[in-house]
Amino acid sequence: MSSVATLSLLAAGILSAAEVNVYSAREENLIKPILDRFSEQTGITVNLITGGADELITRMDLEGANSPADVLLTVDVGRLHRAEEMGLLQPVESDVLTSLVPEQYRDAEGHWFSVSLRSRVIVYDKERVDPAELSTYEDLADPKWAGKICIRSSSNIYNQSLTASLVSHHGAEATEEWARGLVANMARNPQGGDRDQIAAVAIGQCELAVVNTYYLAGMLNATSADQQEQAQAVAVFWPNQDGRGAHINVSGAGVSEHAPNRAEAIQLLEYMVSDEAQIWYAETNNEYPIRPDIPVSDTLESWGEFKADPVALDQLGIHNTEAVRVMDRAGWR
């Protein structure tokens, strides 16, 4: 065998051995298809490890320098900020990422980058609630909504980040007063996930719920007739449109501090903000693309355009601890 042929075989072997290890807090069906496309196009094998976000962050911390993780992929900027604060993510310099991911949706030093967006909105019973009565997140503390609101527990990171956004805008004292009013207006003790809140509105347990947009979109497009029926019983209201705008959060990713496959990890992050991946997020997952040049799905388009809160997302992580204290003092369980 010639030396050229030998080198070619060695190169092919190196290329086929390329891999990237992803610790993902997203459900496998919500991320694996796009990871498979990445592998098909690049020849890089993606080894996917799924689990709860806090579990994966703890695992990375315990593994330390021996961690096989190359990429941490999770939902909610609060968890990305936590991983960054724990020293689990390394800064990345990428012209692709900085040019395609708006500044608001990435860490200033490149520790993490958003790959999709969702808003935490109010959904209401179309038969029992006049949307003209709705206005802001702050208004949910008004006694007129006593016994009418369903929402997840205070341990839920989505609610923690929503509360952190209020702390950022109004301070802890005013946010605690708001949280007390919200608790007083709850129709039942917090329980279940966002889909359960939508179902509770549909069956009349409450009139309003606070949920992430992609849960409602998923129910509207579900194969289950029951889920479709429940989702069709409610409508979306975009809060704070006359003020700062609706609360935004993200799914995002960062390269781990001790990534053994750093180059492949950066290549994966760059792919996740590519046209193909962003279109997939929009059409398949019904999430909002982080890129304004990518169209949304038909379901999201049917809800109309909305004004988004421009607060820098790192503020949600910075104020998370105070938000949890506020919720606890307010009796939000």
Tens digit of each residue's pLDDT (9 = 90 or more) over 140-180: 999 999 999 999 999 999 999 999 999 999 999 999 999 99
| pLDDT tens-digit readout, 174-217 | 999 999 999 999 999 999 999 999 999 999 999 999 999 999 99
The one-letter code for the residue type at 223 is T
Dist CA 246 CA 305 (whole Å): 11
Contact partners, residue 226, CB within 8 Å, separation at least 6: none
pLDDT classification of 31: cutoffs 50, 70, 90: very high
User: What does the pLDDT read at residue 1?
Assistant: 46
**For residue 136, pLDDT beyond 80:** yes
Residue 303 token pair: 């809800």
Contact partners, residue 289, CB within 8 Å, separation at least 6: 116, 117, 278, 279, 281, 282, 295, 296
pLDDT classification of 27: cutoffs 50, 70, 90: confident
Of the candidates 254, 257, 266, the one whose C-alpha atom is nearest the C-alpha of residue 20 is: 266
Q: Taking residues 295-300, report their average pLDDT.
A: 96
CB 23 within 8 A of CB 72: yes
Share of the chain above pLDDT 90, in %: 92
CB 197 within 8 A of CB 151: yes
| pLDDT tens-digit readout, 107-121 | 999 999 999 999 999
User: What does the pLDDT read at residue 161?
Assistant: 96
Direct distance between the N- and C-terminal alpha carbons of the chain, in angstroms, rounded to an integer: 70
User: What does the pLDDT read at residue 8?
Assistant: 44
Query: What CA dihedral angle connects 239, 244, 247 and 249, to 10 degrees?
Result: 160
pTM (2 d.p.): 0.90
